């Protein structure tokens, strides 16, 4: 749209109407708002004028009260002037009379030039001088002319009383010398009556404030604000009043005392002829919210009327526009209906792709519309019937003539025929021609026929394709391997293909029309009728759209397995079911064989491990339900490996098959016998009773029977062989148990039976299992201890016979985070059995070499040796020699300072290899000590061949040295043997001086034990070595 066109012109009619209404309403609201603001301003001006008049009146009354006080003080001064000295006491009655005449006056007092009270109406008032002092000093300091009134700032009486206001009249003689003062002490109540006259309403507040800022009186009373200094509070009305410097001011602000917005009039009190400096300020304020209450009611009424008028205007415009829209819609609908009526025939013909023809029978002329011509590929056609007849297919012309003749002869007003017509391109199209007699003459002869032509070439092609597809489908059904059966809603067979006939052994005519239940086994046939009724009633079925395995019955009555998939179809208002069937006899045989291979052992035919676990889970569940006990037996055939290895796997397999047959023959049919693997079998016994003792007796009896049967000779390859069983038994109670745990316990019990000598039975012992669990836990924690650095090396001193410190033996300690120190007797054997001893030993060697290397720089430590223990596993470790060479080379330790301690057990296996390795290590300079000598059972023949430097007497001999002669004899023999072989002998476990002395007498060279020191951290050992003084 062109931008030059005004905006209003571009708006639609309805939008312009809304815009006009909005402008009118906006103007009306703007006028209303202006009028309301005008009324508000006028109200505030009026209320301000009222407040100013009220505060002016209040200021006049307060001024008169101050004048009255001033008059009283002048009267007192006149009487004082006539008396002097003690005569002033005579003025007491006068003072009392004047004070009583003025309610709210606490005291009228006369003070001399020193500030002492000479006479007072309230001489008994505590601390009177202190109360009057500020006013006295004010009057004295300003030195005004005589008779000028001074108003001191309000203050609280020192005795804790109420707030007071002091008015003081300074006294001077004719020469201006200071003569003292007369004072009036006022309470806030002095001004109550005056302030109350300035309260026309409850929300009106009135106050009396000293010009220096202190609040003296306030109505309504607010005790917490009395005495408050407002001179410095910029948010106070007094501050603004004083800031303006005027005697009268009108303020609209938020009051400090009440916290609400107020209109306040403030006026300084200026009594005529007195002009006190500082003076008092009177203030009267009204709540803006209260004084604007009439205006707010007026505003609410205006808003209500305005909103009502606005809503009514909007509603009226909406209703008017709706009426206009309805009128417009009605006109448009009428116009549209007229157009639709005019175009309906054309649209119908175009939508149906129909060409129209009109035949004037009497004249023979014809008219064809554009769609008719286009159907034949022409733009126009000759307006004669001949042009139509020439395009008819010769084969179809007789049929068309017959149908037309029926209408022309009056037998029917309707005409319909399908025929072919030649297209302009030369091909033939199929046409559906329909017509109707539109006019007849008086004799009933047809005068006019009108009709349509529809191109049905594609429809006929589709019908031909459907027919061809039906023939193809029939051929497929007749040649399918699977059977196809069609059944109606009553279960009657409507069709079946040759495959179905062959599968069930029937001819087609024997089944058609009969109920499909003749193809079902007897038990299924009886339920079929009810099943069909429930399905048709409820519309649900288990097999519709699903494939499932069922049984079929042949004509000869035999039953066979088959798969069945049923589909439901709705056709021409009828429900039919199509069943696809297949004979799965061979598949079932294959599945059975697969199941046998999956769940049964191929060699023995017994259930395998998988099937056993499934049956064990079922047995445990049954025990929980029935509260019955059962047992698991784990059987291992002794000597099977020997037979299998020497006689061959064929003989071994025959032995296992024979064992399986004997197990099946002996046990109950409800018991399960399974091959676990190799020569291991598992027997599952159920229902052994309710009581534990009964279950034990039954299980033991069954196991003893198996021992007898399986212990009989086996004839294998024409010869008899023997193999006995070792049987482990575990029971479970009514609480059931875990399959894996039960089998583990039975396996453990079987190994206990083997350890006890084989060919026996053994029940699972929980205590032994607990010990094994503890050992497993300790092993896991030991592996973590290496990573967590919980292992430590302590050193125990080794001392020569002359008291010289030779060195020490490194002993490994385990400081567990929760258990504390764990004995080496617990974890060292475990480390050797689990292979952890190798990394532990390597770590100990690294530490030992590092310490010896450091000691070379310390004269007190350099001569010392360190002994470290090695296990048999470390000696047999591949590359141990290279490891030692690498450690010595890296650390630079003199090899003679490193001593390796070996036990006799380390030398029992592969002695020659061990001796060779020791010789190579000895060549490097390492020393060897034979630990725990005398506790082994090996021959001493090899002792002379070992490159040893030291023998160590075991602490078991040292401990009994003083009590048992045999122990002394063994110790003496070891010492003498060592002397003969040129070996140093050291005794370990020396705890007392008596033990040490006896060994020394027998010629022992060195000692180790608690007598010289316990195993200690390496730092403590180094400190001990530096301070060692010898201990003989």
Structure tokens at 906: 């380390």
Whole-number pLDDT of residue 829: 81
* One domain, residues 407 and 277: no
* One domain, residues 257 and 282: yes
- In this structure, is residue 236 part of a structural domain? yes
Task: Output helix, strand, coil percentages for the chain, rounded to the nearest 5.
Answer: 50, 25, 25
CA–CA gap between residue 952 and residue 902 (Å, rounded): 10
Which of 538, 564, 586 terminates a domain? The answer is: 586
1028 by DSSP, 3-state: which? coil
Which range (209-218, 347-356, 475-484, 576-585) has the least confidence? 347-356
Q: Indicate the pairing of strand 984-988 with strand 1006-1008.
A: parallel
Which of 733, 764, 795 terminates a domain? The answer is: 764
- In this structure, is residue 899 part of a structural domain? yes
CA–CA gap between residue 185 and residue 791 (Å, rounded): 95
- pLDDT above 70 for 883: yes
CA–CA gap between residue 551 and residue 549 (Å, rounded): 7
- pLDDT above 60 for 295: yes
Q: Which among 93-97, 254-258, 759-763 has the top mean pLDDT? A: 759-763
Between residues 946 and 291, the one the model is more confident about: 946
Which range (212-216, 513-517, 620-624, 977-981) has the least confidence? 212-216
757 by DSSP, 3-state: which? coil
- In this structure, is residue 200 part of a structural domain? yes
* One domain, residues 685 and 800: no
* One domain, residues 862 and 979: yes
- pLDDT above 70 for 565: yes
Which range (229-243, 394-408, 815-829) has the least confidence? 229-243
CA–CA gap between residue 62 and residue 281 (Å, rounded): 10
User: In 3D, which of 488, 480, 537, 479 has the Cα closest to residue 514?
Assistant: 488
- pLDDT above 60 for 939: no
CA–CA gap between residue 839 and residue 898 (Å, rounded): 19
Q: What are the backbone angles phi and psi of residue 892, rounded to the nearest 5°?
A: 70, 25
Question: What is the average pLDDT score of the chain?
Answer: 82
Structure tokens at 785: 């201890």
- DSSP bridge partners of 578: 486, 567
- pLDDT above 70 for 544: no
Contact predicate 301/46, CB 8 Å: no
User: In 3D, which of 206, 296, 205, 211 has the Cα closest to residue 247?
Assistant: 211
With bands split at pLDDT 50, 70 and 90, how would you rate the model's confidence at 542?
Answer: very low
- DSSP bridge partners of 580: 484, 565
Whole-number pLDDT of residue 942: 65
Cβ-based neighbours of 978, under 8 Å, separated by 6 or more: 951, 984, 985, 1005
Which range (178-187, 768-777, 880-889) has the least confidence? 768-777
Structure tokens at 323: 């009426």
pLDDT in tens, 889-907: 888 888 789 999 987 766 7
CA–CA gap between residue 353 and residue 357 (Å, rounded): 13
Percent of the chain exceeding pLDDT 70 equals 87
CA–CA gap between residue 643 and residue 715 (Å, rounded): 12
Which range (229-233, 835-839, 890-894) has the least confidence? 229-233
- pLDDT above 70 for 857: yes
With bands split at pLDDT 50, 70 and 90, how would you rate the model's confidence at 235?
Answer: low
Q: Which among 103-117, 313-327, 625-639, 990-1004 has the top mean pLDDT? A: 990-1004
pLDDT in tens, 136-166: 888 788 765 555 788 887 877 766 667 888 8
Whole-number pLDDT of residue 352: 52
User: In 3D, which of 560, 665, 563 has the Cα closest to residue 606?
Assistant: 665
- In this structure, is residue 992 part of a structural domain? yes
Contact predicate 562/581, CB 8 Å: yes
DSSP string, 51-74: HHHHHHHHHHHHHHHHHHHHHHHH
CA–CA gap between residue 181 and residue 141 (Å, rounded): 12
Structure tokens at 342: 């005019």
* One domain, residues 236 and 268: yes
With bands split at pLDDT 50, 70 and 90, how would you rate the model's confidence at 274?
Answer: confident
Structure tokens at 542: 């288990």
Which of 238, 263, 291 terminates a domain? The answer is: 291
- pLDDT above 50 for 938: no
Percent of the chain exceeding pLDDT 90 equals 18
Average of pLDDT values for 705-727? 90
Q: What are the backbone angles phi and psi of residue 778, rounded to the nearest 5°?
A: -65, -40
Tell me the HSE value of 810 on the side-chain side, using a 13 A CA sphere: 29
Whole-number pLDDT of residue 626: 81
* One domain, residues 492 and 638: no
* One domain, residues 574 and 631: no
CA–CA gap between residue 452 and residue 353 (Å, rounded): 10
Tell me the HSE value of 150 on the side-chain side, using a 13 A CA sphere: 24
With bands split at pLDDT 50, 70 and 90, how would you rate the model's confidence at 78?
Answer: confident
- In this structure, is residue 725 part of a structural domain? yes
Whole-number pLDDT of residue 31: 87
- pLDDT above 60 for 448: yes
Between residues 992 and 66, the one the model is more confident about: 992
* One domain, residues 491 and 604: no
pTM above 0.75, yes or no: no
Q: Which domain holds residue 999?
A: 778-1025
* One domain, residues 201 and 53: yes
Q: Which among 111-115, 252-256, 303-307 has the top mean pLDDT? A: 303-307
Average of pLDDT values for 859-877? 87
Structure tokens at 225: 């604000």
* One domain, residues 948 and 835: yes
Alpha helices in 539-639 (DSSP H): 585-599, 609-626
Tell me the CATH number at 756. Answer: 3.30.70.270
Tell me the HSE value of 739 on the side-chain side, using a 13 A CA sphere: 15
* One domain, residues 552 and 424: no
- pLDDT above 50 for 540: no
Q: Which among 713-727, 745-759, 1009-1023 has the top mean pLDDT? A: 1009-1023
With bands split at pLDDT 50, 70 and 90, how would you rate the model's confidence at 453?
Answer: confident
Average of pLDDT values for 939-967? 84
Whole-number pLDDT of residue 4: 47
Domain count, the chain: 5
Tell me the CATH number at 272. Answer: 3.30.450.20
* One domain, residues 386 and 450: yes
Whole-number pLDDT of residue 56: 78
- pLDDT above 80 for 666: yes
- In this structure, is residue 4 part of a structural domain? no
Tell me the CATH number at 958. Answer: 3.20.20.450
Q: Indicate the pairing of strand 1016-1017 with strand 725-732.
A: unpaired
């Amino acid at each position: 749209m062109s931008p030059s066109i005004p905006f209003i012109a571009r708006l639609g009619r309805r939008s312009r109407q809304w815009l006009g209404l909005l402008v009118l309403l906006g103007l009306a609201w703007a006028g209303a708002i202006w009028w309301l603001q005008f009324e508000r301003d006028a109200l505030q001006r009026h209320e301000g004028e009222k407040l100013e008049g009220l505060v002016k009146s209040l200021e006049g009354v307060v001024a008169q009260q101050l004048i009255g006080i001033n008059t009283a003080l002048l009267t007192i001064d006149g009487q004082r002037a006539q008396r002097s000295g003690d005569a002033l006491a005579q003025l007491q009655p006068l003072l009392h009379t004047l004070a009583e005449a003025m309610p709210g006056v606490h005291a009228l007092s006369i003070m001399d030039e020193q500030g002492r009270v000479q006479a007072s109406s309230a001489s008994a008032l505590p601390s009177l001088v202190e109360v009057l002092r500020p006013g006295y000093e004010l009057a004295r300091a300003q030195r005004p002319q005589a008779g000028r009134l001074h108003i001191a700032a309000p203050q609280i009486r020192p005795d804790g009383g109420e707030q007071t206001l002091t008015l003081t009249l300074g006294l001077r003689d004719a020469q201006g010398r200071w003569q003292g003062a007369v004072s009036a002490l006022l309470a806030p109540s002095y001004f109550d009556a005056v302030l109350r006259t300035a309260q026309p309403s409850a929300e009106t507040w009135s106050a009396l404030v000293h010009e220096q800022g202190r609040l003296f009186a306030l109505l309504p009373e607010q005790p917490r604000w009395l005495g408050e200094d407002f001179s410095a509070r910029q948010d106070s009305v007094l501050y603004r009043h004083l800031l303006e410097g005027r005697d009268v001011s009108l303020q609209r602000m938020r009051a400090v005392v009440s916290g609400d917005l107020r209109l306040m009039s403030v006026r300084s009190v200026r009594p005529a002829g007195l002009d006190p400096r500082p003076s008092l300020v009177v203030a009267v304020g009204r709540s803006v919210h209260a004084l604007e209450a009439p205006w707010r009611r007026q505003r609410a009424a205006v808003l209500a009327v305005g909103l009502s008028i606005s809503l009514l205007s909007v509603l009226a415009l909406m209703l008017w526009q709706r009426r206009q829209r309805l009128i417009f819609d009605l006109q448009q609908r009428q116009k549209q209906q007229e157009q639709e009526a005019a175009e309906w025939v054309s649209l119908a013909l175009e939508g149906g792709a129909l060409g129209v023809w009109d035949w004037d029978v009497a004249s023979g002329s014809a008219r064809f519309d554009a769609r008719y011509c286009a159907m034949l590929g022409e733009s126009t056609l000759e307006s004669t019937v001949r042009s139509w007849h020439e395009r008819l297919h010769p084969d179809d012309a007789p049929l068309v003539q017959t149908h037309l003749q029926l209408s022309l002869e009056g037998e029917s007003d309707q005409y319909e025929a399908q025929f072919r017509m030649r297209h302009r391109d030369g091909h033939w199209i199929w046409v559906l021609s329909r017509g109707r007699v539109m006019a007849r003459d008086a004799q009933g002869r047809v005068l006019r026929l009108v009709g349509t032509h529809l191109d049905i070439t594609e429809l006929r092609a589709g019908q031909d394709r459907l027919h061809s597809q039906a023939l193809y489908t029939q051929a497929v059904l007749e040649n399918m391997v699977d059977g196809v059966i069609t059944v109606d809603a009553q279960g009657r067979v409507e069709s079946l293909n040759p495959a179905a006939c062959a599968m069930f052994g029937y001819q087609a005519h024997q089944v058609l029309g009969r109920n499909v239940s003749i193809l079902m086994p007897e038990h299924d046939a009886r339920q079929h009728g009810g099943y069909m009724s429930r399905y048709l009633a409820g519309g649900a079925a288990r097999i519709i759209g699903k494939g499932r395995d069922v049984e079929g019955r042949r004509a000869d009555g035999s039953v066979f397995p088959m798969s069945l998939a049923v589909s439901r179809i709705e056709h021409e208002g009828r429900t039919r079911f199509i069943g696809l069937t297949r004979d799965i006899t061979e598949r079932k045989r294959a599945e059975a064989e697969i199941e046998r291979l999956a769940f049964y052992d191929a060699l023995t035919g017994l259930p395998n491990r998988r099937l056993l676990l499934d049956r064990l889970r079922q047995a445990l569940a049954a025990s929980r339900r029935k509260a019955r006990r059962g047992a698991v037996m784990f059987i291992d055939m002794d000597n099977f490996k020997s037979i299998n290895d020497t006689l061959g796997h064929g003989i071994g397999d025959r032995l296992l098959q024979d064992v399986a047959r004997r197990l099946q023959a002996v046990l109950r049919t409800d018991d399960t016998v399974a091959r676990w693997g190799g020569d291991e079998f598992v027997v599952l016994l159920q229902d052994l009773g309710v009581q534990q003792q009964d279950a034990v007796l039954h299980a033991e009896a069954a196991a003893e029977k198996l021992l007898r049967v399986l212990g009989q000779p086996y004839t294998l390859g024409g010869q008899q062989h023997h193999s006995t069983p070792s049987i482990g038994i575990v029971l479970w109670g009514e609480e059931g148990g875990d399959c894996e745990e039960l089998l583990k316990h039975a396996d453990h019990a079987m190994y206990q039976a083997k350890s006890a000598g084989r060919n026996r039975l053994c029940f699972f012992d929980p205590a032994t299992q607990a010990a094994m669990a503890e050992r497993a836990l300790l092993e896991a924690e030991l592996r973590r201890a290496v990573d967590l650095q919980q292992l430590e090396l302590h050193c125990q001193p080794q001392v020569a016979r002359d008291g010289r410190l030779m060195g020490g033996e490194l002993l490994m300690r385990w400081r567990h985070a929760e258990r504390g120190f764990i004995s080496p007797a617990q974890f060292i054997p475990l480390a050797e059995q689990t292979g952890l001893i190798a990394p532990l030993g390597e770590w100990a060697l690294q530490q030992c070499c590092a310490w010896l290397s450091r000691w070379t720089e310390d004269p007190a430590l350099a001569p010392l040796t360190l002994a470290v223990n090695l296990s048999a596993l470390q000696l047999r470790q591949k590359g141990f020699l290279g490891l030692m060479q690498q450690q010595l080379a890296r650390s630079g330790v003199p090899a003679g300072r490193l001593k390796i301690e070996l036990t006799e057990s380390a030398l029992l296996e592969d002695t020659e290899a061990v001796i060779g390795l020791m010789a190579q290590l000895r060549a490097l300079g390492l020393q060897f000590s034979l630990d725990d000598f005398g506790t082994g059972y090996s021959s001493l023949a090899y002792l002379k061949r070992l490159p040893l430097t030291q023998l160590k007497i075991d602490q078991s001999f040292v401990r009994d040295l003083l009590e048992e002669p045999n122990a002394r004899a063994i110790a003496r023999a070891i010492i003498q043997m060592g002397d003969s072989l040129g070996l140093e002998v050291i005794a370990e476990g020396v705890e007392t001086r008596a033990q040490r002395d006896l060994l020394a007498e027998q010629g022992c060279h060195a000692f180790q034990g608690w007598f010289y020191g316990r195993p200690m951290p390496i730092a403590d050992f180094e400190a001990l070595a530096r301070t060692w003084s010898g201990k003989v």
